[in-house]
Amino acid sequence: SSTTTPSSSSSTTTSSTTTPSSSSSTTTPSSSSTTTSSTTTPSTSSSTSTTSTPPEIPLCQAPLGGEREEWPITITTVYMEEPTDDDNLSTDEVVVGKTTGSGVKVTYVSVDYSKLYDMQNDTHNVWVYESNMFLKIEKSTQNKADFIPQVTEIHPLKSDIQSVDTNDWVNNPDVEEATGEFLEIRKIPSRDRRTYAEFTDTIQKYINPSGSIYNKDNNGMVLVNKYTEAGVNPQADGVSIRYFGLDEEDVEARPQIDVCYKVVEVKKCPYGTVEKVIVVKNAVYVDKSKPDTNFEGENLEVGTPTGDSNSEKRILLEFNLESYDEVKYPLKDVSTAWIHLTFEDFIGNGGRDSASPTNTISVTPLTTLSEDGVFDERTATWDNTGMDDQPDDAVEIGTTVIPQEQPGITPIVIEVTDVDVEKLLKDYPGIVISGVDEPTSKHPILEFFGKDEKVFPKPELHVCVPEYETTSSTATPTQTHTPTLSTQSTSPTEPVPIRNCTIPAGGDRIVIDLKDYLVIQDTPLSADNPNLIQIGQTKGKGEKVILVYFDLEKAVKEGVIEQFGEPPSGLEEWDITVTDSIINFRMTPTDEGNEDNWEPGRAVLYPLKKPLDEDSSWSYPWLEGNKGPVPGIDYVSTVTADFGKMKKKPALGRWLQASTTTIARYLFTELDEVRMNNNGFLMRFVTESGEDATHFISFDSPALQDPEFRPFMDICYIPSVRPVPCTDGQLVYYDLNADTHIVRDTNVHGSEEHLFIGNSGWAGKARTLIDFDMSKFNTDSTQLFDDTESVYLKLFYEGPELSKPYNDPRQMERKLSAHKILKAWNENYATSKVASQSGKNKNKWDKEMMGELTDYDPEVIATDIISEGESQHSVYFNITSVFKEWMADKTSDHGIMIKDSQHESVPGYFLKFASLNNEDPTMRPKLVVCQKKPICEPEDLPPAKVYNHGCVSTENVTLNYCVAKNGACSATDGDALQYGYTYGVTALWDEFHVLRTFCKCCTDKEADKIEVPMNCEGVEDKPDYTETVYYITKCECMRCEEVSKVRKKRATPSKTRLLLRSALKSMLRK
């Protein structure tokens, strides 16, 4: 796949850059509060600074549609050749150079790129446009006479620092050539001042614009001094340069980098088609200024460098049809195609700095060859390919614009538009790529990688062809849906190119037909057609949206039983883990005769916040009336299903698909606080520009006679069974406090979306750390249902992942074991070496990757096996035993470490799990606790005499009172503010025993009378009598009453309460 060059990038950024508020960057350094347009940091040290005016510190500029962020350098460690001094292995300063009596000093530095790594995936790449590294030089106290002018260079490491020979930093095979250098220091530093180095070439090694598979291993870098005077021995004694370190109180003085980047979309084929690549057969450029010269094997150049047409260079390409399986994927069925090139850089005449703001190239067929109709890259020249005869009005295959700020080594996509791909490949011997509308003066031209490139992608043609798939039937006959393609008549002819959801191992697929729908339209209205459902808008007509409802709960409940039988004993119904889901609408022809220009956009599906109302219109039942349904108010705008982008008027009679996996997970999650109600969905057309749509998009409706063309949705899933049904208890899901994973990269991973366990081969083993805040669990009022199987750690397994290129990756069975952590740690600081940090003090693990007995208990608490090929599912670890220890002593809770106890040393794949930072809350880890059910019940008091005004019962009486257990009668089901109270109030009673604050209390509801004989001997004028007391038979959680501002009439206490209170007071008086 290829990365689309964003069309918005053709504009040049001229305004000053503002650090996005959403980024995690630090404050922009005050020394450079103003930015100028398109500032380019010099790549050499030729810039000089005067003693009176400090050099301006440039900041990178965020590209159009991109971000600028500042990141701290995470590690600085000084390494020295022999002899060493106190600087060796110090971490509080950055030191480079050599002084008398010590060896050469360098500083190892590392940067955490995990944020950008997480953005590189199958659908998106990250382009770093520009980056700088900033340091602050310390005033020197060394001998001025010893100073030698020097620069500090940035050298990436080929290997992990632990395996690098630190005894020779001048001729070290593990140290790469310099990729950047700081401003030259011409005289001994007499004051503290900031300096910078261009960091773009360095960071692009680790965040490669062509995709994550080209990223180099991040082994860190060393900062090394280089004397700038000719002939000076690199190991000559001079003055060491000291820079402020990570512990400096002034944040601005700490080592850091800035990064200006953009996330770009990877060009993909639409649903229902498969992407195939046709490799290049011949690739060469020809030069009009050298008409008889052949340039075989060189990179490809295009443009007119002198501005004169006589200097024009063009690229000739021929694609190899012999490498393509046309029998399986006929070229006549190609729906989308694009040419992929890899841009290297602007060359000649000042390079990028002098390039035009926009640079356009055009692709046309090659039509000027001699009678044999072929060209050979080994012999092709300007003359023998007939370039002078290339027609000015040649058919345009496609064009693209490359902006001046386009990073090097980035994919360029030229979309093939309105051209028959089969004809292009079979009727023409090749294609010609030419520059368009170039300057008439000298200027840089474009260079692309050629056919002989060994690392990055060569020229290719990508085509999208239908993926014919026979839909497997499901266990529910009425839900089986195998769409077929038909002509205007309703007789099916052949399977439609459509992608069904992927059935996971051990799972199945359910198909659900659309049950109900409603089209609503803003005024002015247009005519209705019962066979069509429409979204969008045309001139003179109001916007149309559709409301749709699928009876998902019923279909899934019945479908799972059909496929897997009745749920396990103790469960009312199956829980399911949704692994994939797709919604499908078939576009249908209309006779609207609309000739307006197409406004690009896409259909988007949104969950409704309230149940679909069959009486809905544009003004009802929406909260803002005639404005229609409003995002965030009437429907959920943050959880969506986005259909494929429609850049031009779509072909009719094809299926439009969108992934509804995330939506389905929200509907079927077991987490009450996350679960969405299935209220139906709203579907509308959203334009790319934000302007009104110009066309209606029509789909076949459920009213259509042919059921094959009706909208439908499928859900692929795995039935999931909780390890403990907890039918007799109460199942509670608690949030975790922290999580992270550690690998031998010394980076902090606590803010990432995923957790990793296993061994990927490139960074060695990975372990996951989980922590739970015991203060969230009320050990005084809550009891575990069972002492051995009540508390489980739940993780969502997303599948295996190869984090970096590896020669022989193996996906294998991995046995995961959970261990108790013995030392406090913090996800914001935890690495393979460090557990936590307090101020400047780093609290380290006893050993790298944690030591047995000191950092974690080797005793295994729980295990789980992930077999090769397993699909996504929830994994449970029974941690009841250690949780009980935490209940008894909350200070002993340092969490759980999970590692591979079977193949941790064997390279292969990481196992990937969702973390607390995962954007999908249904997948985040939880602590699942089966507790005893909350109850409000009577509890007997010890038998005792009843006293009343000097009289005493003739025998002991057993009375009782109501007690709330296991968290019963808690005030967690409402908001105190809704009742006119503020937070933090407690239960208060008035003098008539009426509860007056927001809470719930366990109090008596029903009681039996007990007649108790009373002896009043010795009480003047008081005969013996029978006292009536009450024995409580039923309790309830009594709701608190709302108190108005005006004092209400005092309520009369119940007789039961008065007598019970009297009896209890008598006992207390005794």
Backbone φ, ψ for residue 280 (5° rounding): -80, 140
78-92, 329-343, 475-489, 580-594: lowest mean pLDDT where?
A: 475-489
Closest C-alpha among 634, 638, 612, 635 to residue 623: 634
Q: How many CB atoms lie within 10 A of CB 168?
A: 15
In 3D, which of 890, 1043, 1037, 1042 has the Cα closest to residue 972? 1037
For 522-556, what is each residue's pLDDT tens digit? 999 988 777 788 999 998 899 999 999 999 999 99
Neighbours of 704 (CB within 10 A): 19
The DSSP letter of residue 97 is B
Q: How do strand 150-156 and strand 180-181 relate by DSSP bridges?
A: antiparallel
* 250-273 pLDDT, tens digit each: 989 999 999 999 888 888 888 778
Give me the mean pLDDT over the 466-479 stretch. Answer: 44
Which residue from 434, 454, 450 is spatially nearest to 344, judged by alpha carbons? 450
More confident residue, 445 or 24: 445
Lowest mean pLDDT among 425-434, 672-681, 988-997: 988-997
The reported pLDDT for the residue numbered 325 is 86
Predicted confidence (pLDDT) at residue 762 exceeds the cutoff of 60: no
| Tokens of residue 201, six digits | 């070439």
pLDDT bucket at 1058, cuts 50 / 70 / 90: low
pLDDT at 205: 92
DSSP 3-state of 837? strand
- Give which of 727, 814, 802, 739 is closest to 770, Cα–Cα: 739
What was the pLDDT predicted at 123?
Answer: 81
Q: How far apart are CA 1007 and CA 991, in angstroms?
A: 23
Query: What does pTM read for this prediction?
Result: 0.52
Is pLDDT of 322 > 90? no
Nearest to 1068 by CA among 970, 987, 915, 961: 961
Token output for 572: 């009312």
The confidence band for 840, taking pLDDT boundaries of 50, 70 and 90, is confident
Nearest to 318 by CA among 375, 387, 373, 275: 375
Instruction: Provide the percentage of residues in the chain whose pLDDT is more than 90.
Output: 51
Pairwise CA distance, residues 521 & 537, whole Å? 9
Instruction: Give the residue among 435, 216, 404, 450 at the shortest CA–CA distance from 308.
Output: 435
Residue type present at position 455: V
Kindly state the average pLDDT of the residues 362-380.
Answer: 86
- Determine the number of helices (DSSP H) and then strands (DSSP E) in the chain: 7, 54
- pLDDT at 449 > cutoff 80: yes
Mean residue pLDDT across the chain = 83
SS3 letters across 772-834:
CCHHHCCCCCCCECCCCCCEEEEEEEEEEECCCCCCCCCCCCEEEEEEEECCCCCCCCCCCCE
First and final C-alpha spacing in the chain? 88
Query: Considering only CA atoms, which of 967, 1030, 977 is closest in space to residue 1002?
Result: 967
The answer to whether the beta carbons of residues 464 and 335 sit under 8 Å apart is yes
For residues 508 and 715, give the distance between their C-alpha atoms in angstroms, rounded to a whole number: 8
| Amino acid 1050: pLDDT | 41
Predicted local distance difference test score (pLDDT) of residue 590: 64
Three-point CA angle 199, 61, 304, nearest 5°: 85
Chain position carrying tokens 């929406």 = 622
pLDDT at residue 53, as a whole number? 56
DSSP letters along 995-1018, please?
B-SSSEEEEEEEEEEEEEEEE-TT
Helices (H), 60-177: 114-119
In which residue are the tokens 């779509």 written?
A: 650
Contact 419, 461 (CB under 8 A): no
Residues counted in the chain: 1070
User: pLDDT grade, residue 68 (50/70/90)?
Assistant: very high
**Percent of the chain residues past pLDDT 70, beyond the cut:** 83
Cβ atoms of 757 and 912 within 8 Å: the answer is no
pLDDT-derived band of residue 993, with 50, 70 and 90 as boundaries? low
pLDDT of residue 210: 85
Nearest by Cα to 471 from 513, 497, 507, 500: 500
β-pairing, 947-948 with 951-953?
A: antiparallel
The pLDDT assigned to 909 comes to: 76
pLDDT band, residue 706 (cuts 50/70/90): confident
* Spatial distance between the Cα atoms of 496 and 493, rounded to a whole number of angstroms: 9
Query: DSSP string spanning 928-975?
Result: EEEEPPPEEEEEEPPPB--EETTEEESS-B--EEEEEETTTT-S-SS-
Residue 494: per-residue pLDDT: 42
Half-sphere exposure for 845 (CA within 13 Å, toward CB): 22
Judged against a pLDDT cut of 80, whether residue 496 lies above it is answered with no
612-646 tens-digit pLDDT: 999 999 999 999 999 999 999 999 999 999 998 88
Could you tell me the pLDDT band of residue 1039, with boundaries at 50, 70 and 90?
A: low
**Beta pairing partners, 657:** 584
What are the tens digits of pLDDT across the range 855-883? Answer: 999 999 999 998 887 888 999 999 999 99
Q: What letter does residue 613 receive in the DSSP assignment?
A: P
Would you state the pLDDT for residue 591? 52
Q: What is the pLDDT of residues 143-153, one digit of tens each?
A: 888 999 999 99
> Are residues 297 and 160 in contact, defined by beta-carbon separation less than 8 angstroms?
no
- Beta carbons of 605 and 640 less than 8 angstroms apart: yes
Does the pLDDT value for residue 687 go beyond 90? yes
Position with higher pLDDT, 778 vs 237: 237
Q: Residue 599 and residue 694: Cα distance in Å, rounded?
A: 6
pLDDT, mean of residues 986-996: 53
Average pLDDT over residues 389-409: 89
Task: Inform me whether the pLDDT recorded for 1000 exceeds 70.
Answer: no
Phi, psi of 770 (to 5 degrees): -130, 140
Across the range 317-335, mean pLDDT stands at 88
Phi-psi category of residue 220: left, alpha or beta, with phi > 0 → left and psi -120 to 50 → alpha: left
Between 600 and 6, residue with greater pLDDT: 600
Per-residue pLDDT band at 969 (split at 50, 70, 90):
confident
